[in-house]
Amino acid sequence: MSERPALVAVAHGTRDGRDTPAVRALLRRVAALRPGLTVREAYLQFADPLAADSLAAAGDAVAVPLLLSPGYHVRADLPQAVAAAATASGRAPARIAAVLGPDPLLTEALVGRLGEAGWVPGDPVVLAAAGSSDPAAIATVRTAGRLLAEATGSPVTAAFAAAAEPSIVRAVADLRAAHPCRIAVASYLIAAGHFHDLAAAAGADLVAGPLADHPALARLVLARYDAALAARRAPGSEPV
């Protein structure tokens, strides 16, 4: 069996740095699930190591975006980082895996975090996402909301911290008006930060924590890595 390419997990990065501990905790769980696999962290901005540097150091690699929806970062920023790493290292460009959402494993993680926060079946849920001006990104969040509604049997409204409607505050208020019971917020975010702060302040009765190092999210990161390898594997070549 040939040596496996490294898994370089590429997060967005934040100015306040609260995402870094969550990313590292997630990647420790990923590495524990796949002994012998090289797992590296990377960021598109605001934090080190930057994606281009981490990918160049990794050599043969799969870049797995720690992003829940498609958008500009996936279409432009990540390919640019991959190209820069290839130029710097003299190696072939890294494979780029699909974004994490939507996926049943994300639904499993969301339900787990809701349960930890005290949610019970029947409590309506606002699925709180960062938001985007990209229609495809908004569509994937709405799909994630439908998956969550199917899994929980509860009313679920997808809402956004910025750049899209409804806002999280509006969604909480609308659900409260329609359902005279507790309202929960499910954080469709990997780490704490500004957007999770907005979700926590939206007036819900309970707010689930970010996905962070939930075991289902770690399994999903590996599933995206494996799928990217399978998509690029030449017919008749040795499995990685």
The predicted-structure confidence for 188-232, as pLDDT tens digits, reads as follows 999 999 999 999 999 999 999 999 999 999 999 999 999 999 997
Task: For residue range 24-39, list pLDDT tens digits in order.
Answer: 999 999 999 999 999 9
Q: Which residues of 218-234 are buried (b: 16+ CB within 10 A; e: fewer)?
A: bbbbbbbbeebbeeeee
Return the number of other C-beta atoms located less than 10 Å from residue 37's C-beta.
14
Question: Whose CA is closest to 156, among 197, 198, 111, 196?
Answer: 111
Query: Model confidence at 235, in pLDDT bands (50, 70, 90)?
Result: low
Q: Give residue-wise pLDDT tens across range 111-156.
A: 999 999 999 999 999 999 999 999 999 999 999 999 999 999 999 9
pLDDT at residue 232, rounded to an integer? 73
Q: Which residue type occupies 22?
A: A
Domain boundaries, the chain: 6-100+214-232, 104-207
Run of H or E including 223: helix 215-232
Q: What is the pLDDT, as a whole number, of residue 152?
A: 97
Nearest to 188 by CA among 126, 136, 139: 126
Domain 104-207 adopts which CATH fold?
A: Rossmann fold (3.40.50)
- Please, are residues 19 and 13 in contact by the beta-carbon 8 Å criterion? yes
CATH fold of 6-100+214-232 reads: Rossmann fold (3.40.50)
Whether 104-207 and 6-100+214-232 are alike in CATH topology: the answer is: yes
